[in-house]
Amino acid sequence: MTSGPTIQLREFCQRFDVQDRVVRYILEEGHVPDGVRSWPSTGNRREFGPDQAFWLAIVLKLKEMGLKTPQAAKVADYSAEALRTVTQNLGWDWRFLPIKGWFDTDHKYYIDIGDLRYIRLVTDSCPSKRGLYEFDWQPVEGKRCPIQNVRPFVLLRLDLARIAEVLKQVDGWQSPNYSVRT
């Protein structure tokens, strides 16, 4: 189980306007966020930390868009890693790190899914480019590597900043207060 503030399954479902049986089905299929037991002990409620809730929200919304759960779980894994890389490793938006419960951002973050075969991160947080910056396409299945000349016929876009906006309302899930040195 996670330490720090958590959200229970019922509240999670209310925030995303979905029946809890839909989420329970995802979990029972074995697509469980890291750190959550596949089968909770009798009498225990399912609770999720910020990283788990963010991952689960991505899977849930992608399922609503028509993706199968295994594929949605792979996209959720990619999304969490891509956000960490861009916001922290590249330093483009240090206040935004959903896997730590830091949901503050003034930027746009999307995951594009092309033809259900390719994924990429899209953001406006690139400091050297105005407008949206589209990272290279990568395969959903297999090894992550950039793929050139991808022009999908069908494009699905998931708004990660909107998911963060919903989860930001959970008590205790705000970015730390950092002071800027001058």
pLDDT of residue 152: 95
Prediction pTM value = 0.86
- Structure-block tokens of residue 109: 């973050």
Which comes out higher in pLDDT, residue 100 or 82? 82
| The pLDDT of residue 82 | 95
Q: What residues does 159 pair with on adjacent strands?
A: 110
pLDDT at 31: 67
pLDDT value of position 29: 79
pLDDT value at residue 150: 93
**Average pLDDT of span 12-36:** 80
What is the largest distance, in Å, between two alpha-carbon atoms of the chain? 54
pLDDT tens sequence across 137-181? 999 988 889 999 999 999 999 999 999 999 998 887 766 655 444
For residue 161 the two structure tokens come to: 């900043």
Summarised one tens digit per residue, pLDDT across range 35-44 is: 555 555 444 5
Task: For the chain, report the end-to-end CA distance as a whole number of angstroms.
Answer: 40
pLDDT exceeds cutoff 70 at 88: yes
Look-up: residue for tokens 């935004």? 96
Q: For residue 34, is pLDDT > 70?
A: no
Give the span between the Cα atoms of 91 and 116, in whole angstroms.
Answer: 29
Q: Between 116 and 176, where is the model more confident? A: 116
Average pLDDT, the chain: 86
Q: Read off the DSSP letter of residue 117.
A: T
pLDDT in the model for residue 33? 62
